[in-house]
């Protein structure tokens, strides 16, 4: 006979279900974080493009919501200039 504590099959099944639920929650969280990372990377890349263009044009100030507004949609869809 085995030594130590023995647990019922039901107990092991409950543990497995809890572990699967936890894994699902972690996966959902990871997917949300990936989406947030991609969005932030895209925003940073666009801001960098805005700064480069503003400097090239000799600007010292710009409104980030209006400057290169037409390019923003194209940029956001591709992540590139």
51 in a structural domain: yes
Q: Is the pLDDT of residue 22 over 60?
A: yes
Cβ neighbors of 81 (< 8 A, separation 6 or more) are 49, 71, 75
30 in a structural domain: yes
Q: Is the pLDDT of residue 8 over 90?
A: yes
45 in a structural domain: yes
Q: 4 is written with which tokens? A: 């130590």
72 in a structural domain: yes
Q: 13 is written with which tokens? A: 């099944």
Q: Is the pLDDT of residue 61 over 80?
A: yes
Report d(CA 46, CA 75) in Å as an integer.
Answer: 7
| Structural domain of 74 | 9-78
pLDDT per position as a tens digit, 24-57: 999 999 999 999 999 999 999 999 999 999 999 9
Confidence band (pLDDT; 50, 70, 90) for 1? Answer: very low
Q: Is the CB of residue 39 less than 8 Å from the CB of residue 26?
A: no
61 in a structural domain: yes
The pLDDT of residue 74: 75
- How many domains would you assign to the chain? 1
């Amino acid at each position: 006979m085995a030594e130590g504590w023995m647990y019922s099959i039901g107990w092991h099944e409950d543990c497995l279900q809890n572990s699967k639920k936890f894994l699902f929650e972690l996966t959902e969280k990871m997917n949300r974080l990936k989406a947030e990372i991609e969005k932030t990377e895209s925003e940073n890349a666009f801001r960098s493009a805005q700064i480069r263009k503003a400097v090239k044009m000799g600007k010292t100030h710009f409104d980030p919501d209006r400057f290169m507004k037409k390019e923003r949609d194209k940029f956001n869809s591709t992540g590139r200039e």
